[in-house]
Amino acid sequence: MAVPIEPPKKSTGCGSIGVGVLLLALVLVVLLMMMGILPNPLEAKPNATNLPAGITNQPGVTTEVPPASSATPTSTQTQTLEPTATHTPKPTLTYTPTPTEKPMPFVIRGTPSGNPNIMLFPQYSCEEYLFIGGEILDLREAPVFGLTVRLGGTYGGSLVDLVSESGDVTVYGESGFGFAIENQRIRENGITIQLFDANGKALSALTYLSITGNCDSNLLIVNYKQVREIQP
């Protein structure tokens, strides 16, 4: 007996529509994941191990982390301020003038000059003596007699102490006085001369004489001149 063969059934369009919808949904999901709206299950989630240095794993927060110093911390040195010098003003020195010597009635006229002894004592050679002398005049240029002239100090390391009275050695003038000491022919500044009255009162200042020691200057002339009245 023959089996009847059924003709094939025609497919409906519902299956095709379902497949199309599924593909459309899949494409939409892919687009949303590409746009970042939906998370991508294949993308690795950020973790602490793959973050750039200095960025924390807290979303939206970045924190600058100061780089670690490899140098060993050293102790802080405390600066000690040295005391500055304080300027102390020096005391002002007060100048006290020394009392002026009492003006003397007689002074030496000019500068005692050295001359060759042959001017007054040609009979002696210059090697023999050192001559010192002069005359004494008053306010009117008249000779003054009876005053004492003292020669002192040192000459060549030896003490000198000689006196002469005005009027005794007239070769220097009417009121002349004079001294003669052995000539050592040396330069000397230690001989002094001073005028006194008959009572020993000083009438002139003590003066140091300059001796050159030259043979043509072994006659030293010292003249006294009165310049003011003698006070009692």
pLDDT of residue 133: 98
Residue type present at position 85: A
Q: Which residue has the tokens 């405390």?
A: 78
- Write out pLDDT tens, residues 75-90: 445 454 454 445 555 5
pLDDT of residue 35: 73
Which of these CATH numbers, 2.60.40.10, 3.50.50.60, 2.40.110.10, 3.40.50.2300, describes 107-226?
A: 2.60.40.10
Q: Over 70: is that where the pLDDT of 22 sits? A: yes
The Cα 48–Cα 35 span in angstroms is: 25
10-14, 107-111, 162-166, 170-174, range with the lowest pLDDT = 10-14
Q: Over 50: is that where the pLDDT of 199 sits? A: yes
204 near 102, Cβ under 8 Å?
Answer: no
Nearest to 217 by CA among 209, 207, 226, 206: 209
The residue-averaged pLDDT of 179-203 equals 96
The residue-averaged pLDDT of 126-130 equals 93
Half-sphere exposure of 98 (CA within 13 A, CB side): 2
Domain borders along the chain are: 107-226
- Which has the higher per-residue pLDDT, 65 or 6? 6
Q: What is the CA radius of gyration of the chain?
A: 66
The Cα 121–Cα 115 span in angstroms is: 11
% residues pLDDT > 70 (the chain): 65
Nearest to 147 by CA among 173, 125, 166: 166
What is the CB neighbour count within 10 angstroms for residue 131? 24
Got the DSSP string for 54-89?
T--SSTT---PPPPPP-SPP-PPPPPPPPPPPPP-P
